[in-house]
Amino acid sequence: MQQPDILQYLGVRDGIAERIGGGELKAGERLPSERQLQVGGGVARGTVREALFQLEAEGLIYRKDRSGWYVSPPPVVYDPTRWEGFMSYVEAQGRRPATETLSKTEIACDGMLAQIFSRPVGAPMYWIRRRRSIDDRAVLIESIVVDASLAPGLIDHDLDGSLTSVLKSIYGIGVARNKVDMRPCALIRGEAEALRVKSGLPGLSVERTCYDAQGRVVEFDREYWRHDALKVSVDIRVR
C-alpha cells in the first residue's frame, strides 16, 4: 500500500505539516482528533500519535490535555541579559503577557543559597514562585529567591506585575552583572503539573544570578520554559 522508502509516521507528519505551512491550519487552531486523522490513510492511532509527537518536538503543534492538539504560536524573543521584565518585552512583541504568583514565603537560607548569596545559613530570604503566560498559554514557571535584608517586606507587595520595577522603584535595587546558565531540560513533576503539560516535554531551564554594582547577589532566579515558547538572543562583547 504505502511506500516502504519513507516511514509511515513521517508521511503522516508531512501531511499535517503541509496543512499548517499552507495556511489551512492557523496558529492557535485545533487539529482534527487523532481518530479523525486515522481515517484518511487507514493508519493505526499509534502511528498518528507518533507523527504528532514529531510535530510537537519540532514546536509546530502543542497539546492541551484531553482537549486536543493545536497549532503553535510563534516563539517570543528573550534576552536574559537585559534588565527588562517579562511583561514589557512580551508586550513589545505584540503578545499578551500574564503572571500569576503561585506562592510567596519567607524562608531560611540553606547551604546552597548561602553559597550563592554569600550570606550565613539561616539568613532570611524571600522565595517566590510564579507562572507566566503568553496569550493565555502558560509558558514558564519561575522560582525566585531574593535577599530579604535588601528588600524588606517585598512579599507584601503585589508581585503579579513586574518584579523588576518593584525592586527598582521601591528598594532602589539595580543590577550591574548577570550570570546566566541555560540548559535543555525535560519538564517533569511540579513544573509539568504547573504548566499542565505531559511529563517529559522538552524545556529550557534558565538560571540567573543577578549582582548589583557592589557585587552582592540580589536575586537568584530559575525559570523553566516550555521549549516551543522562546528564542534566546544575546549580544555580547567577546572576552
Partner DNA sequence: GGGCATATTTGGTCTATACCAATTCTGCGC
Partner DNA sequence: GCGCAGAATTGGTATAGACCAAATATGCCC
Interface with DNA (CB under 7 A):
4, 7-9, 31, 33-36, 42-47, 49-50, 63-69, 196, 198-199
Axis-axis angle for helices 34-41, 45-57 (nearest 10): 110
Least gap, CB of 97 to DNA (angstroms) = 22
Backbone angles phi, psi at 166, to 5 degrees: -65, -45
Residue 87 to residues 78, 140, 176: CA-CA distances in angstroms? 12, 13, 21
Distance of closest approach, residue 229 Cβ to a second copy, in angstroms: 9
Binding mask 36-75 for a second copy (x = CB under 8 A): -----------------xx--xxx---------------x
Which of DNA, a second copy, none lies near 236, with the C-beta cut-off 5 to 8 A by kind? a second copy
DSSP 20: H
Q: Are 226 and 187 in contact (CB under 8 A)?
A: yes
Between 133 and 143, whose beta carbon lies closer to DNA? 133
Give whichever of 82 and 95 is closer to a second copy, judged by the CB atom: 82
* 196 contacts a second copy (rule: CB under 8 A): no
Choose among 161, 179, 168: nearest CA to 88: 161
Q: Decide if residue 162 touches a second copy (CB under 8 A).
A: no
Binding partner of 47, given a second copy, DNA, none, CB within 5-8 angstroms per partner class? DNA
The least distance separating a second copy from the CB of residue 131, rounded to whole angstroms, comes to 19
The listed partner (DNA, a second copy, none) that binds 184, CB under 5 to 8 Å by sort, is a second copy
DSSP letter string over 81-107?
TS---HHHHHHHTT--EEEEEEEEEEE
Neighbour-count burial of 39, counting CB atoms closer than 10 A to its CB (0-12 exposed, 13-18 middle, 19+ buried): exposed
Count of residues that interact with a second copy, criterion CB under 8 A: 43
Residue bearing cell 514529531: 54
Identity of the residue, 67 or 214, whose beta carbon is nearer to DNA in the bound complex: 67
Cβ atoms 110, 139 nearer than 8 A: no
Q: Which does 234 bind (CB under 5 to 8 A by kind): a second copy, DNA, none?
A: a second copy
Ramachandran assignment for 163, one of left (phi > 0), alpha (psi -120 to 50 degrees), beta (any other): alpha
Contact residues toward a second copy (CB under 8 A) are 10, 53-54, 57-59, 75, 80-83, 175-186, 188, 199-204, 210, 227-228, 230-239
